[in-house]
Amino acid sequence: MRTASDPAGPLTSSFRDPSGHVFVRDGRVLRQVNRSYAMQFERLLSSGLYDALAAAGLLIPHRELPLESATDVYRVLEPERIPFISYPFEWAFAQLKAAALTTLDVQKRAVDHGMVLKDASAYNIQFRGAAPVLIDTLSFDIWEEGTPWAAYRQFCQHFLGPLALMSRADVRLGALSRVFIDGVPLDLVADLLPFSSKLAPSLLVHVHLHARAQRRHASGTVDRQARRSFTRTAMLGLVEHLERAVQALTYGARGTAWVEYYDQTNYTAAAMAEKERLVEAFVKRAQPATVWDLGANTGMFSRIASAAGAYTVACDGDPAAVERHYLDCRTRHEPRVLPLVVDLANPSGPMGWNHEERQSLLDRGPADLVMALGLVHHLSLTNQVPFDMVAEFFRRAGRALIVEFVPRADSQVAAMLARMPALGPRYTQEAFEQAFATRFETIDTALIAGSERRLYLMQAKGRS
Amino acid sequence: MPEPILFAYVDPGTGSYLLQMALAGMLAAGYGIRRFWAQIKGLFVRQDGRADADRE
């Protein structure tokens, strides 16, 4: 994880909130609480809110470390480590929905304890496997009853707006969160939603009227005395209303080419079973603690890596496939698989302030093992990426690699080459093996019995 | 009593504030009515304690 130019300074993603910041020391991720935030922090503990949220799995638990200096540092916390940091624009619909409901649940419990969430950024939610959790322990403020929710606008921009677009317009609009790093502006959400969204009272109020109110009062200020009328019942009513708005948004995860992929592959049941057996054997030989399953589809092979004990990030470019994978993980209470929507031909780059607020996919690695099963022919043919560039990407992504080569004789590849004949001459097994041999050492290889496809277990050269 | 507004480092947005205040009565009434019905229902229906399926 990268830090700012001062190695003991805050993480490059942790600078907005004056209450404290996150930093890395001796490989441990720590959170500093500033003295100015002491009263709020003490209230979080003394009100019982911290215990209630941690026990419910809604807030990341931490332990306090002894202080080394007595400057403006009030506390140093060591939160439980999140295995892999992911971003809202990489989440499937159901993940963003789960993160939204977690945020609202935290807010409701905070109000019960006389506190309030002072921000509602989707980046404050992370996943431990399938389970969302709030990671920002300093998100709480003491609630002055009568005051509306300061984070209401942020909640609507980070959660409700993108969810409404994905549900009511097109699931691919989730990618807008990658462009608008502080959430999708509500006037844009309102413009992109179909007219029928105005017939849903919750979207009419929290998106359409909200956008109009923002436009009308763009530069105004609110008289502080006038803010006293927002009672506790109104606050709880607001949270419940938002909860119902989020709950009402759904996504069916149907109709893409990939989501039915396993039903349409060239594998016989026996060959598929053989592939699973080989992948399992290769994973066990690699003994990874972390796996990136690239082109994971609905996660058939991610499960094998997880069962072998590896925390597995399962990337796929198809939002419907990732949606199904996540829902399956949630049903199984999967603790070690994180499905993410990632287009490998255009993976998330370094973004935000100074190009370093949000990390690229590769900056969050390398993984101990990369799995690229049924992927290379899509990258090489559909995306026209030459083998040596595919190999280089895999080498940067992981220390070891399980990769599958699908030969020209395979009917799927043959059909692709018929559409893109110019790519034919460079798509050979020899060219594949040659390109990978410059960057990887082949540990083992095996033909998948009952198919024409071949699996390789490789070790990146010059990497321990 | 501290001024919690000091820690509101996220701009709440004037329009967003005013909308909430305009809705306050409706939201409070809605909440009250739902609580009331939940209590009435609670007299007749046994709570099943089902967890929220969308977040599990």
- Say yes or no: B5 contacts chain A, CB-CB below 8 A: yes
Helices and strands (H, E) in chain B, number of each type: 1, 0
Dist CA A427 CA A130 (whole Å)? 38
Q: A131-156: per-residue pLDDT in tens?
A: 999 999 999 999 999 999 999 999 99
pTM for this one?
0.93
Amino acid, res. A461: K
- Say yes or no: B11 contacts chain A, CB-CB below 8 A: yes
Enumerate the residues of chain A whose CB falls inside 8 A of the CB of residue B24: 148, 229-231, 234
Enumerate the residues of chain A whose CB falls inside 8 A of the CB of residue B8: 118, 141, 150
- Say yes or no: A240 contacts chain B, CB-CB below 8 A: yes
Q: In terms of C-beta distances under 8 Å and separation of at least 24 residues, what long-range contacts does A425-430 make, across chains too?
A: A426/A380, A426/A386, A426/A387, A427/A377, A427/A380, A427/A381, A429/A405, A429/A454
- Say yes or no: B49 contacts chain A, CB-CB below 8 A: no
> Which residue in A463, A460, A455 sits closest to A440, CA to CA?
A460
Q: What are phi and psi of A335, to 5 degrees?
A: -90, -15
- Say yes or no: B50 contacts chain A, CB-CB below 8 A: no
Dist CA A340 CA A329 (whole Å)? 12
Dist CA A317 CA B36 (whole Å)? 46
Average pLDDT, stretch A389-394? Answer: 98
Amino acid, res. A247: Q
Rounded percentage of chain A residues whose pLDDT exceeds 90: 84
Q: Which of residues 100-139 of A touch B (CB under 8 A)?
A: 101-102, 105, 116, 118-119, 121, 131-132
pLDDT at residue A453 is higher than 90: yes
The model's confidence at residue B1, banded by pLDDT at 50, 70 and 90, is very low
Give this complex's ipTM: 0.85
How close is the nearest chain A Cα to the Cα of B43, in Å? 22
Q: A282-310: per-residue pLDDT in tens?
A: 999 999 999 999 999 999 999 999 999 99
Q: A160-174: per-residue pLDDT in tens?
A: 999 999 999 999 999
Structure confidence at residue B4 (pLDDT): 44
The answer to whether the Cβ–Cβ distance between B28 and A205 falls below 8 Å is: no
The answer to whether the Cβ–Cβ distance between A238 and B13 falls below 8 Å is: no
The answer to whether the Cβ–Cβ distance between B28 and A237 falls below 8 Å is: yes
